[in-house]
A and B are shown apart, each in its own frame.
Chain A
Amino acid sequence: EDKVVQSPLSLVVHEGDTVTLNCSYEVTNFRSLLWYKQEKKAPTFLFMLTSSGIEKKSGRLSSILDKKELFSILNITATQTGDSAIYLCAVEAVKTGANNLFFGTGTRLTVIP
Chain B
Amino acid sequence: KAGVTQTPRYLIKTRGQQVTLSCSPISGHRSVSWYQQTPGQGLQFLFEYFSETQRNKGNFPGRFSGRQFSNSRSEMNVSTLELGDSALYLCASSLAAGTAETQYFGPGTRLLVL
A contacts, CB < 8 Å to B: 32, 34, 40-45, 48, 88, 90, 92, 95-106
- Across the two chains, which residue of chain A brings its CB closest to B3? A42
Is A90's CB under 8 angstroms from B90's CB? Answer: no
Asked, given contacts A32-B101, A42-B107, whether A106 binds B42 with beta carbons under 8 Å apart, the answer is yes
The distance in angstroms between the C-alpha atoms of A96 and B85, with both chains bound, is 26
Is A32's CB under 8 angstroms from B100's CB? Answer: yes
20 examples of A-B residue contacts, CB within 8 angstroms = A32-B101, A34-B101, A40-B107, A41-B90, A41-B105, A42-B3, A42-B106, A43-B43, A43-B90, A45-B103, A90-B43, A95-B56, A97-B56, A97-B57, A98-B56, A99-B56, A99-B58, A101-B100, A103-B42, A105-B42
The distance in angstroms between the C-alpha atoms of A96 and B41, with both chains bound, is 23
Closest 8 pairs (CB-CB, A-B): A105-B42, A103-B43, A42-B105, A48-B101, A99-B58, A41-B108, A41-B107, A99-B45
Q: Is the interface of A mostly helix, strand, loop or mixed?
A: strand
Q: How large is the interface on B (under 10, 10 to 19, 20 to 34, 35 or more residues)?
A: 20 to 34
Contacts of A92 in B (CB 8 A): 100
Mask for B15-35, Cβ within 8 A of A = 1, else 0?
000000000000000000101
Contacts of B41 in A (CB 8 A): 105
Contacts of A45 in B (CB 8 A): 101-103
Contacting A42 at CB < 8 Å: which of B57, B58, B108? B108
Contacts of A106 in B (CB 8 A): 42-43
